[in-house]
Amino acid sequence: MATLALPTLRQAPRPAHQLVLCLFRSSPSPLPSLALSAPALPTYALPSLANLVSDTLAGLRDLLPPILWAAPKSRTTHSAKRMRSAHKGLKERQNLVSCPGCGAPKLAHHLCRECYASFRREIHRERAEVGASPEEKIL
């Protein structure tokens, strides 16, 4: 039995970017605001909302360049990270001073590491003499 080719009422779906270009095609008008105010296609030629949404989602990949969809395929290796940061050396510290209490080098406007450690040892020793547990806070 022979099949009859019936004419379809629907056209093939257009990509979203072509639809947008057709809708907002500027006509030669002296006022640019009026050129974009009316669609170039009649309203009966516009696809339904469901077709527009599906075309928009399908055409989204066409609108965006492939570089935006790129993703790393594997982790950056340790050696690649080291090679990338090879020219970045440690900066010299200019704000080193000697501690007035013990004479050890320290950063300006910071606590001395040696003095802080001795202070903590003193506090723990006093707490042990009093019999307080280390978890209790002394105000």
pLDDT at 72: 78
Position 73 confidence tier, pLDDT thresholds 50, 70, 90: confident
pLDDT score for 117:
95
In this prediction, residue 2 carries a pLDDT of: 53
102 near 111, Cβ under 8 Å? no
The pLDDT, as a whole number, for residue 16 is 59
CA distance 40 to 23: 6
Residue 6's pLDDT is 52
Higher pLDDT, 16 or 104: 104
The model's pTM: 0.35
pLDDT tens for each residue of 2-33: 555 555 555 555 565 565 555 555 545 444 55
Instruction: Give the residue from 99, 97, 133 showing the smallest Cα distance to 119.
Output: 99
pLDDT tens, 25-59?
Answer: 554 544 455 445 555 555 555 556 666 666 666 66
Whether the predicted pLDDT of 83 surpasses 60: yes
Averaged pLDDT score across all residues of the chain:
73
Provide the β-strand partners of residue 9: none
Half-sphere exposure of 88 (CA within 13 A, CB side): 5
pLDDT over 90 at 125, yes or no = yes
Cα 72 to Cα 106: distance, rounded to the nearest angstrom: 43
